[in-house]
Chain A
Amino acid sequence: MAPLRRDRMSVDPGSMLTFVRFLFAFTIGSHILMVSTSIALVLLISISEFLSIRKSDPVYEALAKRLSKVFVISFGVGTASGIVMAVELVGLFPSFMTLVASTGAMVLLYAEISAFFLEVLALVLYVYYWNSFRGRYSHWVVSIFVVAGTLASAVFITMLNAWMNTPNGFDVSTFVSSGFKTITDVEPFAAFLTVSTVSQVFHVLVTTIFAGSMVIGAYFAYWFVRSRDAGEKAMYSRALKILGVIAIVTIMLAGISGSEEMGTLLVNQPLKYAALDGNTVPGTNLPDRFFGSIVNGSYVGGISIPGMQALLARFETGVTMLPGLSKFPPNTWPPLLVSTTFNVMTVGGLVLGLFMLVFFVSFVRKRRPYESRRLLYVWIPAAVLAMLVYQLGWATDEVGRQPWIVYNVMTVAQAANTSDALLLPGVIIFLFYLAVVPTTFYMYSRIFQGSHEEAPA
């Protein structure tokens, strides 16, 4: 084994910074793909088991049992990937992690580990001791602990991201003026509630559940359409029924929380808001614009709805003067591509909302949409769109905060480790994730399909 230190080849720090950025973005993008399906899975398992007891329906019970095996894989790979990210953060952004570790943000990570313990111990009991409980409801209650642990982990980590967007709980000016050496007036528990926490947690949680439900639903939709086995079809339709309800509820909440999130941005991160909405100059009667671009300081092309942005902003926050990029130094602007990713996210969300509206109307009219081949054919591309929108939402949030890693405190360049010793292991991690993610989804399917013994006769 060669010495693990920087030597031989050298890469300039600017290129390494781009590499480090890309590596972490890729890792987190892969991770949230697994996390969103994991959260939707655990909800589906818990609801299925509840319905199996409530309705004395063995199909629901078989569904819960088969999915619990899949969830073990999801948990195993997701946990390992989560640990990769925890350690990767230290390796790639050591100055950022030093700030995190010295402030309340660290308390959130520690709280997340407590939630993680709740999840893992409950999961082991739930899966490996299924029939050891006295009474079926007491076993089902354990699934609530799994759900609580899974959701709490997601909530705490999103709180940390909210803290990165609107940091609090320490004296920022002393920290910055001391060249990141002195941290004073630390309030460790303040990070639990920054000005953006509630809206961000709300939006991230519902969109995560929505995206995961759509992806898992696509799997069941595909197999429902393809299968000739009546028993299997009955199971897929029950899963789709539950996922359909979850998706309808969460897409509605995603709209509400997304609007709330924009209101929070307008008040607390006006530069990001201006970049997302493509506002080159401040104004009181600005339009909502889609799919144009900013050229020489002006927004050109695309579709424009006059006065719409101002109307929504006034309704959400009461703010009448909307921010524009010209009010901020250009070297603090995020890449303006975020305007496009934001537009794709918004329009994609609307399209998905329309699809779920059709699904809902069909539900109300007792047309059993979860067994309609036409709707299920549409569900599959809709799931791809849902995951694209979800990933773009995350990218918009992160890229929209650039060049800051912690807003108005520390830039990514100041936080990053640009040692070229990271190059080779970073490439290996990249290739590794490229293999692990598809393999994991393949194994989900293989193990679910390989568990026919759980299906009722």
Chain B
Amino acid sequence: MNGIFEVNYAAFSVFAALLITEIMGAVGLLIAWPSRSKVLDYIVPIWEITGTFGALWVVTGDFAYPGLLVPVSAIFTPLLIVFLILWVARGASIAFAEFITKRRWLDERKLFKSYAVATLVLGLVVLVLLSALIGGQGVSLASGSFSVISWATAGSVVFVVGTLLLAVGLAPAFFDLSALRNLVLPTTGLGVVLSVLSYWLMSPGLLTPWMTVPVLLTLVAGALYAWPSTSKIVTNKAVFLAVFSVIIFSLQPLVYPKAIGQALSIDAVTTTGAMADAFFSITVVGGILLALMLSLYVVVAARGPSGPGL
């Protein structure tokens, strides 16, 4: 077991879970604007935390794999720059949208829709990156380059479609849109099938028995919403986020011990020695601080939002 990888991947899991729930919300804002309040009640306080977990993932990644920075820079920089532009656009548009009052052409609706579009495209860029990290499609380690045309294989495309179906399928559960209750299980099920198929298309070796854990957890999450008696479990946002993070965390065999189409050994590029000790020390101190702040957040949030931002 590689503890440093686990910490970095855990940070990624929480970030990905938060980002996917934002993508679900973005879809809701685009296609169901009249029911925006259910989406905004969740997204408005949480989008800032998503960004912070994103930063945590990037920084722990830099810390964990110093030897990878030069090749990553050569291969992914143009794609990362597109990601960054969308990231700023997302942050700026939602921050402006939260408090704006209508004047001339610019209003809350246009800004929230800009946020939704930026978040959706951002999600697409992240999926392209992830599929390249998993299967190595489009990546040439020898020449240090990335080609979108070479990336567009059946495995990558099915991966993107499968993940998007999962997000769309679970969105009604997450935001408790009971009118769409019947769509949840079939869409989620199809998303699971396509995701598993994409792993097989990328590399049959990615399908290990361990894969049954995320598959079952995802199907259970979808199934729980199918019945009103159990739906309250998954509509609880904290529970859903926790389960979703666990599902993503359990997908780690896709990139560990080897990533980029089995070409890169993670253990071989992980930091060691005094830097590894320092990594764990800061993780413990930062983790305690984070736990204390989250506890305070849970206590206060239980009393309900009541600020000038609302």
Contact = CB atoms under 8 A, between A and B. Distances in A.
Interface of A: 1-6, 65-66, 68-69, 72-73, 75-77, 79-84, 86-88, 90-92, 94-95, 97-98, 100-104, 106-107, 109-114, 116-118, 120-133, 145, 186-189, 417, 419, 421-422, 424-426, 428-429, 432, 436, 439-440, 443, 446-447, 450-451, 454
B66 A102 contact: yes
A120 B48 contact: yes
Interface of B: 44-45, 47-49, 51-52, 54-56, 58-60, 62-63, 65-67, 69-70, 72-74, 77-85, 87-92, 94-96, 98-101, 103, 143, 145-150, 271, 273-275, 277-279, 282-283, 285-286, 289-290, 293-294, 296-297, 300-301, 303-310
A79 B92 CA distance: 10
A3 B82 contact: no
B18 to A, nearest CB: 12
B303 to A, nearest CB: 4
A124 B45 contact: yes
Contacts of A187: 274
Main secondary structure of the interface of A (DSSP, over half): helix
Contact of A450 (B45, B101, B296): B101
Contacts, number: 268
A280 to B, nearest CB: 39
A121 B295 CA distance: 10
Contacts of A127: 307-309
B95 A65 contact: no
Contacts of A419: 74, 77
B152 to A, nearest CB: 9
Contacts of B285: 114
5 closest Cβ pairs, A-B complex? A76-B95, A101-B66, A80-B91, A188-B278, A425-B81
A454 B307 CA distance: 11
B206 to A, nearest CB: 25
B290 A114 contact: yes
Contact of B63 (A1, A77, A101, A450): A101
16 contacts: A72-B99, A76-B91, A80-B91, A106-B63, A107-B278, A110-B63, A114-B285, A117-B52, A117-B290, A121-B293, A124-B297, A129-B305, A419-B77, A421-B77, A421-B78, A450-B99
B96 A443 contact: yes
B37 to A, nearest CB: 15
B310 A128 contact: yes
A103 B275 CA distance: 7
Given A100-B62, A110-B279, A91 B77 contact: yes
Contact of A3 (B54, B148, B300): B148
A91 B92 contact: no
Contact of A84 (B87, B286, B290): B87
Contacts of B306: 128-132
B95 A77 contact: yes
A377 B58 CA distance: 45
B250 to A, nearest CB: 24
Contacts of A125: 296-297, 300-301
Given A6-B145, A121-B293, A419-B74, A87 B94 contact: no
A118 B48 CA distance: 12
A109 B62 contact: yes
Nearest to B288: A114
A79 B301 contact: no
A94 B273 contact: no
Given A76-B95, A121-B297, A84 B88 contact: yes
Contacts of A80: 51, 87-88, 90-92
Contacts of A65: 308
B48 A76 contact: yes
Nearest to A417: B73
Contacts of A130: 306-308
Given A188-B277, A447-B101, 11 more contacts: A73-B95, A75-B48, A83-B51, A90-B62, A97-B69, A98-B67, A106-B63, A113-B52, A132-B300, A425-B77, A436-B92
